[in-house]
Chain A
């Protein structure tokens, strides 16, 4: 039998606010354990939460960028369970009435048609702290609790079970990642857990319209692992069914070392979270003016920008897609184009030399040593015929190293292109004299020999001769 996978994703997005969701403590990562805490995030008796408005604003931004409806009134609820990293014994989340409802994202898997994936909801919640085990200083062989992360704001985005393959899941995840980092509401760092994902996976016979029993795979922390975990899980479920077994509803944990998932807890061990509205917080009321204000302040979103790159700069779809992968990259490109209006050249250099340089040095576009003005300056020299494309590569390498502008480098190193016909003629004459045999061959009808002469002339001029002039002069001289 052939099977069809059905996948839904729950993504936790850590918000990039300066302070926590319900108190004024800093959200900075990596501080001394428990140094960023107060009565509220420690869950001390008598402490009360007060919502950080920035969190609501970020949630509205995320909702608008994913085509959600923003609820006029959303409710904070308590999710009750005991765990030492959960100071109050409950997590403040949203349950029945989340802030964002019914959105969608369009995804594109290579070689397939664009597909629309539904977003059930996005809600606001607080993060828990973390446990430190064993060898940490001062713990000896015990365990400790670090509550610096407790009360850090999160969004949870829940997709509809619209995804049908691991590739679709990854495409959806990348799209969502692109949007939240683009909006500047999440740093997108998956290693530090700023963007993490749980996957609900089930399989059913092809053609069926009844979903199979699903397993939830917890905390898959890279795009690659999401793909691996889902593929493994699909395979595991199919094997199980083929062997006459049944998939049980359970929570499974992905082990990146073995590439497999293993059972964490079954349905019968599932918590009863006893959700109820948090009486310490008033309903979050968002009027249409607030939504409009946020909408006005939204940056141009990736899809819109991609379309504009194609329209305004006549860039091919591939270029537009690559250059809008991140907001910083798109900003870079537009800054360079604004200084020298040759979009395609800017695009080529950015996708070529710049990207290579960034990858080789593992740095982000924001700190690229060849800044938009430097890149624009370089292309301007090429376009004006001051330097050749070949020399430009040398100039680029030098710009990357020294941060000097192209003009300065060209002057300092004497790399100006030679377009003086007299100087070039002298070289041509010399080379024709030294290679009389090849001249005869050409004149005898062997056109290919022209390439040999161009090469020789360029070599003799150390690459500085203007290739167009060289070509023109050679042709007339060779014809005699």
Chain B
């Protein structure tokens, strides 16, 4: 049900009614992800955005079978028709790292400090591709060159601490792409980086996707990064999908008060920067408390009485460009506040 690609082929990734619950040591239950569904086609990019605690990272970890022991997942997460959530560990291990790869947020902690980059990269190839150490080395060097690590043949023999943050993130990307995966899940791949390095990484992901046809799930809190890379975007809040549609449409005509709030709160370079920012009042939900109505209602500027008690359904409507959009809000779109003028898409050009 990808909104931009309504072609006849099956989506590569299909997630249906995914939910993640954690039991806390004192017997409490935290619902981190509630009823999330999305689909992703080959060569496309889906952005999942939301603030901390919105459940975006847990969605990815659940798909990859990487939840901690106190986490339980329900629903379906199909890769190429097979449900990742019901696979045996051995079967999952054959897919994980090979067909579906993940880039973690913090490259400094995601790599093993005791092993050289070479050792960590060739391990993947030896395991999944049954390559010899020598073949694996050559391929690892080639991939490091592809992500533009200069002097790769020498640098690959170094340890993680000898690299800068930007370089390590490239190593992470190179490692994830070694087996030319069909799907790349990138959890905040540029958050720890400077804007100049971030721009390089974005360009790199765009090139690699063009060359290899990889489908990317990009998890981020940065609307700018989403706009640079994504075909579709899903906005999450309090573990639920608030809005889901084609990026071009969601950015130009957001149909949920939370999406509008997120875009408005963003400081904009093309603005004169004199007017105050439009902040969203209140704090993000802590996740533990069960929410009866809309999760965003306590912070929503246009919330009505029913919003606090009745949860809005995620309903589908047709967008201006023929793609489909889903949104979960009681209020009709015409009654939502407009975007702050400085943030209007297209007018800045």
Q: Do A and B bind each other?
A: no
A interface with B by C-beta (< 8 Å) = none
